[in-house]
């Protein structure tokens, strides 16, 4: 049957309308995660919750930091200790236990773990959490992981008493954070082969993310700024030769020190100095690097306000991306000798954050989202302290009081 010209026009019009409706329907059916994925939520992870050969030597056969968590008690009126993990005292080197952590993180909007990673002149420390737990987890493709080289002195503070803390030499340094140039070469080879080439390693623009915690000790490794630049350039070349686009080298910047042996680097223009060295971006590890809480406690929202004021000023002062931080809490009292009075003596006898409820944590996340929206240079990347700093009172893992509420706050705000 022949169609008249007007009938053909009507048919074509109907086809266009149907195609348009189908296209719009497909757009509306796109999962929110695909259309949303603007923000990158990373969480620091402290892997001292498994048996390590070094800890065996100094602290006992089956020691993990869970021992300090179990032994902690209230140190002042209204102080809530001990904190009890809802999952029990898990072994992060056990792939089955790590799978539980990965699922919980991925299900609640966390994109990457940034492992505190240790390497000294005599080699690795606390690596089993990654190399046995994370690498052995069947679901480790659900989340990315990166490394923050925690190149600080490892001291005997598990726990520490006031006499040791106040002695002229302070706590014993078990493993110095400074290393030789030869160790740097071995270490960077190991990092590239063992971690960067893993399919779940965190890349930013095809560049593996590698963060350095202590800038002062890092420069001291090489002896001068010029030699440090040379060391970074050698690392960057190795990364490119391994097939990556580049190295994403990140610097943790402090406003104040925490650990007894830390020294804050003093330069007139931090941004220019870091660019000269060859860093790609900057970040913060914890609010307490920028705000000293009142002793024995200060309200969480007050410290939050002071931190975001710092972040605003610092990010405006440098010509590098700054990846800001949300801290879940702070209470390092479990690392103090529990039979002593809790006095203001310096780490770990420090002020704590109070009222860091899931609701207040959610408010901090909302402020972070607003900050990222207003600072596009950040790439909408931020980190959280911490997945499991139980003995510093900063953890996202569920406890017996709040359950999954902190993780649910992340999911609500960023998904």
Mean pLDDT, the chain, whole residue set: 92
Cβ atoms < 10 Å from Cβ of 357: 16
Task: Report helix, strand or coil for 148.
Answer: strand
Q: How far apart are alpha carbons 8 and 292 in whole angstroms?
A: 76
Average pLDDT of the segment spanning 101-124: 98
103 domain residue, yes or no:
yes
Question: Among 250, 190, 189, 186, which residue's Cα sits nearest to residue 221?
Answer: 186
185 domain residue, yes or no:
yes
135 domain residue, yes or no:
yes
12 domain residue, yes or no:
no
Average pLDDT of the segment spanning 289-318: 98
- Predicted confidence at residue 37, as pLDDT, reads 57
Answer yes or no: is pLDDT of 11 > 70. Answer: no
Number of domains in the chain: 1
- Predicted confidence at residue 17, as pLDDT, reads 40
Q: How far apart are alpha carbons 41 and 200 in whole angstroms?
A: 15
Range of the domain at 379: 36-414
329 domain residue, yes or no:
yes
The CATH number linked to 337 is 3.20.20.80
Query: Model confidence over 277-287: pLDDT tens digits?
Result: 999 999 999 99
Q: What is the CA radius of gyration of the chain?
A: 24
Six token digits for residue 21? 């409706």
Contact 72, 84 (CB under 8 A): no
What does DSSP assign to residue 197?
T
Q: How far apart are alpha carbons 400 and 415 in whole angstroms?
A: 25
Query: Model confidence over 222-240: pLDDT tens digits?
Result: 999 999 999 999 999 999 9
365 domain residue, yes or no:
yes
Task: Report helix, strand or coil for 388.
Answer: strand
- pLDDT band for position 415 (cuts 50, 70, 90): confident
24 domain residue, yes or no:
no
Query: Model confidence over 238-281: pLDDT tens digits?
Result: 999 999 999 999 999 999 999 999 999 989 999 999 999 999 99
SS3 per residue for 296-357: CEEEHHHHHHHHHHHHHHHHHHCCCCEECEEECCCCCHHHECCCCCCCCCECCECCEEECCC
Strand pairing report for 381-385 and 325-327? parallel
Q: Between residues 24 and 384, which one has the greater pLDDT?
A: 384
Strand pairing report for 381-385 and 40-45? parallel
DSSP 236-293: HHHHHHTT-S--EEEEE--SS--STT------S-HHHHHHHHT--EEE-S-GGGT--P
28 domain residue, yes or no:
no
Q: What global pTM score does this model have?
A: 0.91
Average pLDDT of the segment spanning 340-366: 98
Q: How far apart are alpha carbons 217 and 264 in whole angstroms?
A: 10
């Amino acid at each position: 049957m022949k169609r008249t010209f007007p009938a053909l026009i009507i048919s074509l019009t109907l086809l266009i309308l149907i195609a348009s409706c189908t296209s719009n329907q497909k757009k509306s059916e796109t999962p929110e995660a695909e259309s949303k994925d603007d923000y990158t939520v990373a969480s620091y992870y402290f892997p001292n919750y498994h048996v390590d050969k070094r800890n065996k030597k100094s602290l006992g056969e089956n020691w993990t930091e869970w021992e300090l968590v179990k032994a902690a008690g209230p140190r002042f009126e209204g102080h809530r200790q001990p904190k009890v993990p809802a999952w029990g005292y898990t072994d992060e080197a056990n792939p089955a236990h790590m799978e539980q952590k990965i699922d919980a993180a991925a299900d609640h909007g966390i994109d990457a773990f940034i492992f505190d990673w240790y390497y000294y002149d005599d080699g690795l420390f606390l690596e089993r959490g990654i190399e046995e737990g994370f690498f052995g987890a069947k679901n480790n493709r659900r989340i990315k992981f990166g490394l923050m080289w925690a190149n600080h002195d490892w001291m005997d503070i598990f726990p520490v008493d006031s006499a040791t803390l106040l002695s002229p030499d302070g706590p014993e340094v078990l493993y110095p954070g400074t290393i030789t140039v030869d160790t740097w070469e071995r270490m960077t080879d190991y990092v590239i082969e063992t971690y960067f080439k893993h399919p779940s390693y965190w890349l930013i623009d095809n560049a593996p993310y590698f963060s350095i915690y202590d800038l002062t000790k890092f420069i001291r490794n090489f002896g001068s700024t010029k030699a440090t630049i040379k060391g970074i350039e050698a690392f960057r070349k190795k990364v490119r030769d391994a097939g990556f686009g580049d190295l994403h080298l990140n610097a943790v910047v402090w406003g104040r020190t925490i650990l007894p042996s830390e020294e804050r680097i003093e330069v007139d223009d931090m941004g220019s100095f870091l660019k000269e060295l060859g860093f790609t971006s900057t970040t913060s590890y914890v609010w307490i690097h920028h705000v000293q809480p009142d002793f024995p406690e200060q309200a969480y929202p007050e410290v939050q306000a002071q931190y975001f004021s710092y972040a605003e000023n610092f990010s405006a002062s440098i010509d590098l991306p700054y990846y800001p931080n949300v801290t879940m809490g702070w209470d390092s009292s479990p690392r103090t000798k529990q039979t002593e009075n809790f006095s203001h003596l310096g780490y770990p006898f420090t002020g704590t954050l109070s009222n860091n409820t899931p609701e207040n944590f959610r408010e901090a996340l909302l402020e972070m989202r607003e900050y990222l929206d207003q600072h596009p240079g950040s790439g909408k990347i931020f980190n959280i302290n911490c997945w499991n700093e139980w003995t510093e009172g900063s953890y996202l893992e569920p406890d017996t009081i709040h359950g999954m509420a902190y993780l649910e706050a992340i999911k609500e705000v960023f998904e």
